[in-house]
Amino acid sequence: MEVIRAKRAGACYGVQRALDMADEVIEGGNRAYTLGPLIHNPQVVADLAARGAEAVGSVDDIAWEAAAEGAVEGVSAAPAVVIRSHGVTPEVLDAVRGRGFAVVDATCPHVSRAQAAAAELAREGCRVIVLGEAGHPEVEGLTAWARQAGGKVDVVAGPDEIPAGLYDPVGVVAQTTQRRENLEAVVGALREAGLDPIVRNTICSATRQRQEAAAELAAGVDAMVVIGGRNSSNTTRLAEVCADACPRTFHIESADELDAAAFAGCKRLGLTAGASTPENQIASVEAFLRTL
């Protein structure tokens, strides 16, 4: 069986940057914390915790005393708080700084730009439409940055959730892992309603590139394997894109989930991975598939 990896797959710049920043903090000798999972990849989060970067639910879960115990001589006792790649709300950022923690901002630059775009639209007087998944940390951040700038905000997952009674000016930003087609559908629906939305296309190019490469590959193979956390939005959408072109699509987190029988009769097998999946996880799955 031929195993073909998508031309674009795996950890994006923002994810790798966050991992590198967390590694630097750990290697520096101080106790480190991340507010929520650094990235949406359970295996990576578990590895970080084992090496000294624990994921916590809030700033209140970080104790100065416990953190200081892990410090080495000559290194600041202030625990380091690594801001996850999805970003946080301005209130959370203020709370971290207010407690005197050492802040390491690993927010993905694309997410930071989306936050700035949401705030700018709000300052311009727009009703801000955030296209994304309600409850997702990135979306919560976008919403909070717009509200801090004085804007009214609506979160929609698609055109069917656009509230009635909107009037100009309306601004639109998107969760960075959204599909371009979904953004176009929302903008189209707003225009059909007689509005003239100000659109800030904040979809990350890495997400789009991975989706396009996966769709192209999926159309020419017998089965697809998509690697990445099930809590990862970009990986979930990648699996959806693959399934549209190749119904025999498997979304997994590790090689342990693979069953050789599932690929019976396959001559060409496609492989891709979400933007929160590091190379070592892809290589492990690929090595297994090549033994089939």
Q: What is the pLDDT of residues 185-208, one digit of tens each?
A: 999 999 999 999 999 999 988 888
**Cβ 43 vs Cβ 284: under 8 Å:** no
pLDDT band per the 50, 70, 90 thresholds, residue 74? very low
78 shares its domain with 148: no
Reported as a pLDDT band with limits 50, 70 and 90, residue 64 is low
Final residue before a domain boundary, out of 167, 183, 203: 203
89 and 42 fall within a common domain = yes
Same domain flag for 17 and 96: yes
Q: How confident is the model at residue 77 (pLDDT cuts 50, 70, 90)?
A: low
Annotated binding site for isopentenyl diphosphate: 40, 86, 136, 232-234, 276
Give the CATH number, domain containing residue 244: 3.40.1010.20
257 and 178, same structural domain?
A: no
Q: Which residues are annotated as a binding site?
A: 12, 40, 86, 108, 136, 176, 204, 232-234, 276
Same domain, 170 and 191: yes
Are 187 and 104 part of one and the same domain? Answer: no
Distance between CA atoms of 149 and 60, rounded to whole angstroms? Answer: 26
Which residue segment(s) compose the domain that 137 sits in?
Answer: 110-203
Q: Binding site residues for dimethylallyl diphosphate, as ranges?
A: 40, 86, 136, 232-234, 276
CATH of the domain at 41: 3.40.50.11270
Q: Cα-flanking dihedrals φ and ψ of residue 21, to 5°?
A: -65, -40
- The stretch 57-74 carries a mean pLDDT of 62
Q: For residue 75, is pLDDT > 90?
A: no
In this structure, are 27 and 83 located in the same domain?
yes
- Do the beta carbons of residue 121 and residue 128 sit within 8 Å? yes
Q: How confident is the model at residue 84 (pLDDT cuts 50, 70, 90)?
A: very high
Measuring CA to CA, how many Å separate 267 from each of 90, 131, 224?
A: 51, 39, 12
From the candidates 138, 140, 253, 286, give the one annotated as an active-site residue: 138
Considering its fold, how many domains does the chain have in total?
3
Is residue 90 located within the same domain as residue 145? no
Asked whether the predicted pLDDT for residue 139 surpasses 80, the reply is yes
Select from 108, 123, 154 the last residue of a domain: 108
Q: What is the mean pLDDT of residues 17-38?
A: 90
* 222 and 196 assigned to the same domain: no
Annotation: binding site for [4Fe-4S] cluster: 12, 108, 204
The arithmetic mean of pLDDT across residues 245-273, rounded, is 95
Q: Are residues 18 and 99 in the same domain?
A: yes
Co-location of 30 and 84 in the same domain: yes
Where among 203, 236, 267 does a domain terminate? 203
At residue 220, does pLDDT exceed 80?
yes
Q: Is 138 a catalytic residue?
A: yes
Residue type, 213: A
More confident residue, 122 or 260: 122
Q: What angle do CA 86, 243, 285 make, to 5 degrees?
A: 70
pLDDT at 193: 96
Torsion-angle region of residue 125: left (phi > 0), alpha (psi -120 to 50) or beta?
Answer: left
